[in-house]
Structure 1
Amino acid sequence: MNDAIADIPRWVTALAEWSACLVYISVMRKRVSGVPLVATLIGGLVLMWGIQEFAGTLPIGLWTVGMLLAVAAMFTLIWLTSDVSMREAGDLTARAFVLAELGASLAWQLHYFFLGDAGPTAGGIVLLIATAGTVFAVAYLIERRQFPRDLPLAIDNKALASALGIATATFLVSNLSFITTSTPFSGRIGPELLYIRTLVDLCGFVVLYAQRAQRLELLRVVELQSMNTLLHTQHEQYLASRAAADEVNRRHHDLKQYVEAMRAESDAGARGELADQLEQEIRGLSGVPLDTGNTVVDTMLTSKTSQAAQHGIAITPVVDGSVVDFMDVIDIVTIFGNALDNAIEATRNVSDKDKRLIRVAVYREGAFALLRFENWFGGAVTLVDGLPRTTKDEAHHHGYGLKNIRQAAYKYDGTMTVRVEDGWFVLRVLVPVPA
């Protein structure tokens, strides 16, 4: 052990570890709130302080035991207070540990530079707390942009292993000089030791930050591509439905011609042939298209009603399509297509066939166009940034439909809201109608 200078006081390390945890807890959704949250945070601080004091009594051979206990305490505090998975808590712990090392190291380096190895004084304590506090405040301002509420970044085993590896390597290299001076990478002079530790901790923090920033950027690219693909698919479905509706209208026109010909035909055999031809024309017709006053809305409702019927789902529309005449075709398709696709997917899993219902209402309310889509749900919804948290295994691959709907509403300075009312899942789009 290098005894050139006194090591960081245990209480500084404990406070740094707790503060670093607090930084990442602050940017995450909370598992608890109010008094339980405050009590858990205070308990975490006491536990970390106690572990550091206990570790200080251990012989150098058990040095790693104390560090593992400290990391375990940090993991426990993050997992108990943040609404995250075990892997996500592990990733946050790795980041918090490196940040804690950086804050404590920089604070002690400045203390040594200005006050040397002097024991704790009022001025020294203020300097330590001010330096570490500044580090954690800056880290919070930087890191909060890396944890957007609307784009959760799932941590897989590979990502977790990478973060833990970086944190472990950072800690070992930064503290190497305090263990031995017999390596090419060890420092031998007091200030040099502190500088190396701070610099390595800073590099570790930057690497972890860059790693997450890159993964977040890739996820945003994937999300954008997925949303564009979904928009394209919805539009293609609309075009196909529009073509089918035009075909139905054409065949309806032909049916009228057959009926007129049958009325005018006096020969029974000829009438029989016309009746057979009429029967063949009727086959394959899915029904008369709706007439809401907007052909795009008609097409979407007709198509989705037919799709829902295949799963025993009834769609009951009360729709004034003319209300949304001011909207672009692609935006109407986006809203109706995604809303009804989501409703059909949710309703097809309802065991009670009498409750396989979807209600659609579009009407004008004052200066606004109100679009309301309802389907029987019978459960509870947890909202994250105004959107339901998906129950699917790969959350970051889903939910683009609602995001596209919200973007379409934002385009017209409108809003989209979702909630559960008396067992019904309600999607509501409110858009101001241009004067």
Structure 2
Amino acid sequence: MDHVTLTEIPRLYTGIAEWAACSIYILMLKKRYSGIFMGILMGATLIVQCLVQELAGHFSENFWLLGMFLAIGLMLLYFYFSCEITWINAGYYCIRAFILAEFAASLEWQLYYYAVESTENLSLWLGVAVLAATYTMVYAGIFFLERKHMYLSQEKTTVKELIFVIAIGATVFFVSNLSFVYANTPFSSQITREIFNIRTLVDLSGLTILYAYHILRREMQAKYDLDAMRNILQSQYTLYRKSGESIDIVNRKYHDLKHQIAVLRAEEDSAKRLAFLDEMESEIKMYEAQNKTGNSVVDTILTGKSITCQKHNIELTCVVDGKLLNFMHVMDICTLFGNSLDNAIECEIQIEEQEKRLIHVEVVSKKDFIVLRFENYFEGDLEIEDNLPATTKLNKDFHGYGIKSIKYTAKKYGGWVTINKKGNWFELNVVIPSPKE
């Protein structure tokens, strides 16, 4: 058996391994396309990947790195144009897929070498059988191992994290292929079995390191998200407490005004003064009835937000049956109403024409569900990304945590959140099953 022939993995097998590794991750990520078009894209990429590898096989030894970079570049493009991810995230998964492909191809060819050495049979069918069995086992195992650790929404990969992954990938690739470039080193070998063992075990170690790093990133991101949402919950509850104290003071002032009006009515005065007093009394009655929803927490939040809306000339209308929410925890009510109204108010402040600054809040019972609807008028284009309105802020790190906390709270009670836009109206719906008696 020819040592050189049996230690070099066929380019076609490498191309298939690289395509399959990318495809496994793409199946678990959010894709740009679906159906027939996605199938055509995957099939075309398989053909091109194999052709690139075959072409690289004809390069001289001085240009073998160029062939490798061409293959990796095609994998990068495959990720970016198949999935809704950034270039940084595409690079992150490209490196992970590249090391996975190196491991799968190395393991398959090592098993094939063992089978040939045992049977002394170089038949094509033996190679195809080993390839199919090995690739199926490796990629199916990776799919079931990785799918529960994949991001369901846009992933936040930093440049530093990408550089770290590239460094790991480059180190693994160099060490695993060292025997093919420099045979006379303490870390390389000229013996075929040792070459296979070094290459396969180093690739497996690199794959394990990248997988562990990915899980660590997920846990750190989950902790970061949880801390951010906890801070939002606490801030909303703090605002509720402060609003309650301020509103108590305002209520006392209005109570004093009612007694003053009663005294003034007993005095002789002009019709104009009486009309003015009638107007004051009407406003007081309107204020007293404005946020009497049947839930003291909802009343406090709506009253506090009403004062904010008046300050910015925003018209806030409410049709709220607060008694429907009496079963909910105080902090959860603060989260739903506080975050929803804060986002709406922030949007309305940016509208120049004050008569278009409109917010509507509704809490109603529909069949066996309680529906909380928050609507506000907006101008310009509004894009929905990952069921979140796209942000125009320069600092995007904290974008979406308000709505994430709303979704978390709704899920806590077995409910869900939907976001829609109808014309120039943004609509946030929170649907929660009615509690059983």
Could you say which residue in structure 2 is the equivalent of 1:130? 133
Contact 1:335–1:405 at 8 Å: present in 2 too?
Answer: yes
List per-residue Cα deviations over 1:215-241 (Å, max 9, x = no partner). 221111111111111111101111111
Q: What is the distance in 2 between the residues matched to 1:388 and 1:138?
A: 36
Task: Report the Cα offset of residue 74 of structure 1.
Answer: 0.8
2:4 alignment partner, SS class: coil
- Indicate the residue corresponding to 1:121 in structure 2: 124
Of the structure 1 ranges 251-260 and 217-226, higher mean CA displacement relative to structure 2 is found in 251-260
Q: How does 1:233-244 map to 2 (within 5 A)?
A: 233-244=235-246
Provide the residue aligned with 1:312 in structure 2: 313
1:211 aligns with 2:213: yes
Q: TM-score by structure 1 length?
A: 0.89
CA distance in 2, matches of 1:127, 1:211: 30
- The residue number in structure 2 matching 1:420 is 421
Counterpart in 1 of 2:58? 57
Partner Cα separation in structure 2 for residue 204 and residue 391 of structure 1: 39
- Relative to the length of structure 2, the TM-score reads 0.89
**Aligned mates of 1:354, 1:264 — CA distance in 2:** 40
| One-letter amino acid of the structure 2 residue matched with residue 63 of structure 1 | W
**Partner of 1:425: helix, strand, or coil?**
strand
Instruction: Name which of 231, 234, 239 aligns with 2:233.
Output: 231
Distance 1:118-1:18 versus aligned 2 partners, 3 A rule: farther
Partner of 2:146: 143
For 1:126, the aligned partner's letter is A
Residues 394 and 149 of structure 1: CA distance in aligned 2, closer, same or farther (over 3 Å): farther
- Kept in 2, the 8 Å contact 1:4–1:189? The answer is no
Q: Contact 2:88 / 2:162 at 8 angstroms: preserved in 1?
A: yes
Would you say how many aligned residue pairs link Structure 1 and Structure 2?
417
User: Structure 2: which amino acid aligns with 1:253?
Assistant: H
Distance 2:359 2:91 in 1: 42
1:343 aligns with 2:344: yes
CA distance in 1, matches of 2:181, 2:263: 102
* Distance in 2 separating the partners of 1:405 and 1:295: 20
Q: Give the conservation status (yes or no) of the 8 Å contact 1:10–1:49.
A: yes
- Structure 1 gaps, min length 5: 269-278, 280-285
- Work out whether 1:356 is the aligned partner of 2:367: no
Percent of aligned pairs sharing the same letter: 39
Shift in alpha-carbon separation, 1:412–1:352, aligned structure 2, 3 A: same
Residue pair 2:382, 2:389 contacting (<8 A) in 1 also? no
Change beyond 3 A, Cα 1:360–1:211: same
Against the structure 1 CA distance between its residues 127 and 393, is the aligned structure 2 distance closer, same or farther, given a 3 Å change threshold? Answer: farther
> 1:414 offset after TM fit, Å?
2.4
Greater shift in the superposed pair: 50-59 or 410-419: 410-419
The answer to whether the aligner puts 1:253 opposite 2:255 as a matched pair is yes
1:133 alignment partner AA: T
Say which is worse superposed, 17-26 or 401-410, in terms of deviation: 401-410
State the match for 1:16 in structure 2: 17
Displacement of 1:337: 0.6
CA distance in 2, matches of 1:349, 1:232: 26
Where does residue 68 of structure 1 map in the other structure? 69
| 1:105 aligned partner | 106
User: Which digits, 9 at most, give the CA deviation of each residue in 1:86-139, with x for residues without a partner?
Assistant: 111111111111010000000101111112385452122111121022111111
Deviations 1:301-323 (A, max 9, x none): 11112223333321111122222
Matches within 5 A, 1:179-328: 179-262=181-264, 288=288, 290-328=291-329
Separation (CA, whole Å) in 1 of partners of 2:88 and 2:333: 40
Return the offset for 1:352: 4.4
What corresponds to 1:275 in structure 2? none
Between 361-370 and 107-116, the greater mean CA deviation after superposition: 361-370
Contact 1:346–1:377 (Cα < 8 Å) also in 2: yes
Letter in 1 for 2:190: R
- Unpaired segments ≥5 residues, structure 2: 270-279, 281-285
Change (3 A) 1:321 1:212: same
Q: Which amino acid aligns with 1:200?
A: V
Do the aligned partners of 1:373 and 1:426 also contact (CA within 8 Å) in 2?
A: yes
| 8 Å Cα contact 1:71/1:93 also seen in 2 | yes
Query: Kindly tell me: are residues 256 and 350 of structure 1, through their superposed partners in 2, closer, same or farther at Cα, counting changes over 3 Å?
Result: closer
The answer (yes or no) to whether the contact 2:96–2:210 under 8 Å persists in 1 is yes
CA-based RMSD of the aligned residues comes to 2.5
Aligned CA distance change for structure 1 residues 392 and 133 (closer, same or farther; 3 Å): farther
Q: 1:7 to 1:196 in 2, by over 3 A?
A: same
Deviation, 1:258, is: 2.9
Q: Secondary structure at the match of 1:3?
A: helix
CA–CA distance in structure 1, aligned partners of residues 395 and 185 of structure 2 = 46
How far, CA to CA, are the matches of 1:347 and 1:141 in structure 2? 46
Whichever residue aligns with residue 336 of structure 1, its letter is F
Query: Given that residues 7 and 196 in structure 2 are in contact (C-alpha distance below 8 angstroms), is that contact kept between their aligned partners in structure 1?
Result: no
**Deviations 1:242-282 (CA, angstroms, capped at 9, x unpaired):** 1111111211222233334445679x9xxxxxxxxxx9xxx
**Runs ≥4 in structure 1, deviation > 6 angstroms?**
none
Alignment partners' CA distance in 2, 1:351 and 1:33: 41
- Listed one character per residue, the Cα deviations across residues 394-432 of structure 1 (whole Å, up to 9, x for unaligned) are 555221222222222223222222212233211112223
SS in structure 2 of the partner of residue 30 of structure 1: coil
**1:313-335: CA deviation from partner (whole Å, max 9, x where unpaired):** 21111122222222222221111
Write the distance in 2 (CA, Å) between the matches of 1:110 and 1:185.
22
Query: Does the CA-based 8 Å contact 1:115-1:124 persist in structure 2?
Result: no
